[in-house]
Amino acid sequence: MSDPPGSPERDLEQAREALDRGEMHHAAGHLAGAIAQAPTRPEAHELLSRLAARADGALELFPLDQPAFVGTVVARAHLLAAAGRPEDGLPLLAAASGHTPGMNWAGVPWVRDPGLGVRMEPGLLARIVMQLCSAVGDPAPEAGRDALQPYLTVARHAIAVHPDHPLLLGAGSALARRVGETALAVDWAERGAQARPSKLAEIWLGYAYRAAGRIGESLAALRRAVAHDPDDLSVYADIAGTLADQGRLQDALDWVDRALTRDPEYDCAVHTGHRLRYRADGDLAHLVRLADFIRDHPDDTHEHTDLADCCAGTPWLSRVPSAPGAPVDPDRRPPGTARPPATAVERLHRVAQPLWPHPPAAYDAAVPLLLVSPDDLLALVTHPPDAPDTETARVLAGVDPTLWDRCARVWACLGLLHHGTDEPWADSTRRRLLLDLALDGTDRITEAALFALITNAWIDPSARADVAALVTRRLHDVRDGASPIAWSVAQLALATPDLPTSTRDLAGAVLVQAASRLRRARRRPVRRRLLRWLARG
């Protein structure tokens, strides 16, 4: 489905004019545009009825092309309902809700009519609801829950007629849970499990209990699901996640290991296991191994966020950290270095930001900078352009005046990683350029180049020993804490794959020392004011 342009008022006006001229296809196109933007607007539905009356139902005016326009899909659903086929229209509305869950596609009288739930085959309705649930998130965002209530209404009406249909009860429970109707979700899931015990019924029941905070009953239901089907390893991962949320990490890891014993490459168990092991001991190696698994298994069963969740908020794993205390010393700007051209600045502005999900994602996000030559990227490093006139840039300036310049350099250095990727790392041009930047002095250019080198170590295991040795060397250079970027180099070290334990310990000590220096610096003005006051006394 594609998204709508224009405004509903203009589309309605043009639809009326086209209908008055007898231009049915034009009228249908504008009506679809209006409905896509204002799906419950009475004027749109009135005009759709007029069109249907003049065009023998008008279904042929709203074909389900590929890709289908969402307004066309929804208009066809309403025409099917008007033609006495609401059971054929509801799946189309559900598809639209899966495309844009926050839009109130189903907030119309024919969906709320109890007769729809009565006439629909319960198995079909259950499948429609399950497909909808898979698209809207668990739980659904608060802002979009009202738009999903009409489907819950249909489920209520259908369950009143089919009170013991296990699939409908389970699917209805899943939808009720997503929109915050927890008590209803538990009731329907319990009834479904009683009507026909099965793995799926126990999973729905376990999720409903978990949403209601009944963790013991949730775990019991999920264990019964495992007993029904010991080969469904996704349930093992769900049990592990539930146990971890209760602080029972060892029990959670036991379930992960049970799954991995059956299939060492089962993606849900691998992701959950690395996340929980990192949570247990904070060892970066778990995240690096997870990143390696993601790279080597691009066709996982579904999207996982474990790596991003673990990296979130951590300096350099997910963001450029703000400089503590006074601004960092001025950076190197070699005499005669050319300034970057406007095209390079524009491309940098498109990608540069202080946040990323994790280092491999930052590498991927820098791909567009392949269109900027290495010379121009070096010019961006030495002469970072002014920040773009955006809200994000204004927020950055308020948080830390140095942050934009540092972001710009970071992304320019990431761009260098995308040049000459066919060259083996050890003798590559990209390594040489970044090494020159990382080794010549200690300033914000140093940290930007170090981060790019570290990012390459995340994505290329063959570069890890080399990068770890370089980071160790640079950390020893600033270990006394006098360098203005000692704190940053230490944080970069803690984000480096395969770093020796001794270097990791040194990085922790440097951070402690830098924090102590900062506290002393902040106390000095207070002491001076106190001494002046005492002297006056």
Domains in the chain: boundaries: 342-527
- Rounded to 5°, the CA angle 271-358-415 comes to 140
pLDDT the model gives residue 513: 87
Residues 6+ apart with CB under 8 A from 65: 72
DSSP β-bridge partners for residue 319: 315, 355
For 25, other C-beta atoms within 10 Å of its C-beta total 10
- 8 Å CB contact between 97 and 103: yes
Q: CB under 8 Å to 218, separation ≥6 — which residues?
A: 206, 207, 209, 210, 242
> Residue 331 is encoded by which pair of tokens?
């950076």
Residue 319 pLDDT grade (very low, low, confident, very high; cuts 50, 70, 90)? very high
Tokens matching residue 375: 């010379």
Decide: 145 and 180 in contact? Cβ < 8 Å.
Answer: yes
Q: How confident is the model at residue 334 (pLDDT cuts 50, 70, 90)?
A: low
Q: Determine the pLDDT at residue 530.
A: 37
| pLDDT class of 3 with cuts at 50, 70, 90 | very low
> What's the pLDDT score for residue 527?
45
Percentage above 90 pLDDT, the chain:
81
The yes-or-no verdict on residue 419 having pLDDT over 70 is: yes
| Nearest one of 291, 320, 284 to 503, comparing CA atoms | 284
pTM for this predicted structure: 0.82
pLDDT digits (tens, 9 = 90+) for 374-411: 999 999 999 999 999 888 888 888 888 889 999 999 99
Question: Which segments within 137-228 are labelled E, that is strand?
Answer: none
The residue whose two tokens read 């043009």 is 14
Q: Please, what sign has the CA dihedral across residues 467, 469, 471, 477?
A: negative
Residues 6+ apart with CB under 8 A from 350: 368
- Looking at residue 430, its pLDDT comes to 97
CA-closest candidate to residue 503, choices 458, 454, 480, 469? 469
- Give CA torsion, residues 82, 17, 4, 39, to 10 deg: -40
